[in-house]
């Protein structure tokens, strides 16, 4: 093997140093700065992305807080509107109930008045019929026609006595 020949050690060492030096300079001046630039750019991009993510997170939290505040306010307004509507509906229901009670009371009074009037008419008719029957019965029993005014007065007195 030519590498292990001791006569060629010195030129091999020379070319080893020259090649190592050239590779060292190429790596030191060209390749490693580029790698360092790429790593630095990557680190800056990651830092920038992390900062943006943190900003987005803070913005999202602020938006969430604003949303929750808006929802709470909307719920509060909705509850107020519901309470107001309930109050209005209760007032309307009470008003309608009062109107209905008033109408019913009026109808009841009118009905009672009609009943009283019908009762009085019926009693009047019964008194008239009673007076006629009494007059007819007295005429048959006595053979004489009684005085209509006297018979009516007697029947009316009997009805009044019976009513008390």
Any domain includes 50: yes
DSSP string, 8-62: GHHHHHHHHHHHHHHHHHHIIIIIHHHHHHHHHHHHHHHHHHHHHHHHHHHHHHH
Any domain includes 56: yes
Helices and strands: H and E segment counts in the chain: 3, 0
Any domain includes 150: yes
* Rounded alpha-carbon distances, angstroms, from residue 152 to 126, 127, 157: 11, 8, 9
Element (DSSP H or E) covering residue 148: helix 148-163
Any domain includes 17: no
**pLDDT tens digits, 106-122:** 999 999 999 999 988 88
- Find out whether 156 and 134 touch, Cβ atoms under 8 Å: no
Its domain, for residue 55, covers: 30-163
**pLDDT tens digits, 12-31:** 889 999 999 999 999 999 99
pTM equals: 0.44
**pLDDT tens digits, 47-88:** 999 999 999 999 999 999 999 999 999 999 999 999 999 999
Task: Spell out the residues 6+ positions from residue 3 whose beta carbon is closer than 8 angstroms to its own.
Answer: 12
Any domain includes 13: no
Q: How confident is the model at residue 138 (pLDDT cuts 50, 70, 90)?
A: confident
Any domain includes 23: no
Counting the structural domains of the chain, the total is 1
Any domain includes 70: yes
């Amino acid at each position: 093997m030519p590498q292990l020949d001791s006569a060629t050690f010195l030129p091999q060492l020379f070319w080893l140093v020259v090649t190592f030096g050239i590779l060292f300079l190429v790596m030191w001046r060209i390749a490693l700065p580029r790698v360092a630039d790429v790593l630095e750019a990557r680190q800056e991009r990651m830092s920038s992305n992390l900062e943006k993510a943190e900003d987005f997170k803070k913005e999202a939290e602020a938006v969430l807080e604003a949303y929750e505040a808006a929802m709470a306010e909307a719920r509060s307004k909705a509850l107020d509107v519901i309470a107001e509507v309930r109050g209005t509906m209760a007032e309307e229901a009470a008003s309608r109930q009062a109107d209905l009670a008033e109408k019913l009371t009026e109808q009841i009074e009118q009905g009672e008045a009609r009943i009283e009037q019908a009762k009085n008419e019926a009693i009047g008719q019964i008194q008239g019929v009673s007076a006629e029957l009494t007059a007819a019965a007295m005429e048959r029993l006595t053979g004489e026609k009684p005085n209509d005014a006297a018979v009516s007065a007697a029947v009316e007195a009997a009805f009044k006595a019976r009513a008390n």
